Amino acid sequence: MFDLFPYLSRVIHISSAILLLGGLFYAWNLSKYNRLPDNPVYGFRPAVWSLVAALLLTGTYNLMLKMPVPKEYHMLFGVKFLLFLHIAAVSILLVKPQTTQEKRARMLTGLAGSGAALILVSAALRAITQ
């Protein structure tokens, strides 16, 4: 029988990751060419908080559904979680009104690297559990 809740949780998790990382990569691209608006934070701040919360909740739920997992999974999941914490913390700092344009550009460069690494680790985790 098809269980809808785990399916919806996975869809929400992947959609939230796409929206958060996509928005950050877009902002990073704009910052490379000095085209960020003077204060881009007001529209993106509620989205950052909601997407981070959705990722944390659905990620925890999805992990609980996968138990038990192989030993290698725990190590890679730890790396993925640390990358997520870095992305979440810097994203929240990024949308503070006091953050200068120069700081935003540096933060976005670091987030682009962390986002790419997180995608690679996620693909490896998926390969381990199939």
Taking only the tens place, the pLDDT of each residue in 65-92 is 888 888 888 999 999 999 999 999 998 8
- Is the Cβ–Cβ distance between 108 and 28 less than 8 Å? yes
Measured N-to-C along each axis, helices 4-32 and 71-94 cross at an angle, to the nearest 10 degrees, of: 50
Tokens of 50: 């909601």
Q: What is the pLDDT of residue 60?
A: 92
Which stretches of the chain drop beneath a pLDDT of 50?
Answer: none
Q: What is the pLDDT of residue 2?
A: 75
Query: 47-50: long-range contacts (C-beta < 8 A, 24 or more apart)?
Result: 47/19, 47/20, 47/23, 48/20, 48/91, 48/92, 48/94, 48/95, 49/92
Residues contacting residue 32 through CB under 8 Å, at least 6 positions apart: 105
Tokens of 103: 């700081």
User: In 3D, which of 81, 127, 100, 85 has the Cα closest to residue 41?
Assistant: 100
User: In 3D, which of 109, 130, 127, 107 has the Cα closest to residue 119?
Assistant: 127
Helix H, strand E, coil C: the string for 31-67 is: HHCCCCCCCCHHHHHHHHHHHHHHHHHHHHHHHHHHC
pTM for the whole structure: 0.85
Tokens of 127: 């390969």
